[in-house]
Amino acid sequence: MLDNKGFDLWADEYDKAVGLSDEDNTYPFAGYKKILGKIYELIMDKPNAEVLDIGFGTATLTTKLYENGCGVYGQDFSSEMIKIASDKMPEAHLYQGDFAQGLVVPLKQKSYDFIVATYSIHHLDDEQKIIILRELIDRLKDDGKILIGDVAFESRIELEKCKEQSGNEWDDEEIYCVANELRTEFPQLKFEKVTFCSGILMLPRDNMK
């Protein structure tokens, strides 16, 4: 698993690597642009939404939201990723920190219309995912939603099928979301499958009270 220095070194090549996988429709980034586009559309339905992006990377999604009137907040543990994102969004509120340890203090002091995590939450183990999702739900406004776009599956069977098909390309260090397992903790979680290896998970605050 990459640490913050690993992501610093990968920052300049990240978008290129993602783009190649997406264009070839291969694991792990098949459907990347489609997922970001769907999340973008959901957020833009609410004018001037305040958005928190967890693990924003080079800010491919949040830059578009920023340019279209959203208030952007974010946390990432790579200083190089933050530099790249800050150049694109000079007035965004971006903080360095490992979200496996929770939100940094300034981000805990606000509530958000949307909290997004695109291709970042798979760096957490299953227990860590539950802990951070509980924390994030508490930071949503009353009608807010958590939107997770990532390598993700409805069931463990689908994950294992993808793993078998991916062969040596499969990354055993990444821990992907399985929707029907997360529902034991978050019954109202919805999952929209986008490709054979990816999808969008949605958690609304109003159903979690």
* Per-domain boundaries in the chain: 4-19+29-204
CB-based burial label for 70 (10 Å; 0-12, 13-18, 19+): buried
Question: In whole angstroms, what is the distance from residue 164 CA to residue 158 CA?
Answer: 10
Kindly report the pTM of this predicted structure.
0.89
Instruction: State which H helix or E strand residue 138 sits in.
Output: none
Digits of tens for pLDDT over the chain (209 positions)?
Answer: 434 433 333 344 445 555 555 577 889 989 888 899 999 999 999 999 999 999 998 898 999 999 999 999 999 999 998 999 999 999 999 999 999 999 999 999 999 999 999 999 999 999 999 999 999 999 999 999 999 999 999 999 999 999 999 999 999 999 999 999 999 999 999 999 999 999 999 999 864 44
Question: In whole angstroms, what is the distance from residue 108 CA to residue 161 CA?
Answer: 38
Residue-by-residue DSSP string for 70-116: -EEEEEES-HHHHHHHHHH-TTSEEEE--GGG---HHHHT--EEEEE
Instruction: State which H helix or E strand residue 8 sits in.
Output: helix 4-24
Task: Yes or no: say if 75 and 97 are a contact pair by the CB < 8 Å rule.
Answer: yes
Please report the pLDDT score of residue 47 as a whole number: 94
4-19+29-204: CATH superfamily: Vaccinia Virus protein VP39 (3.40.50.150)
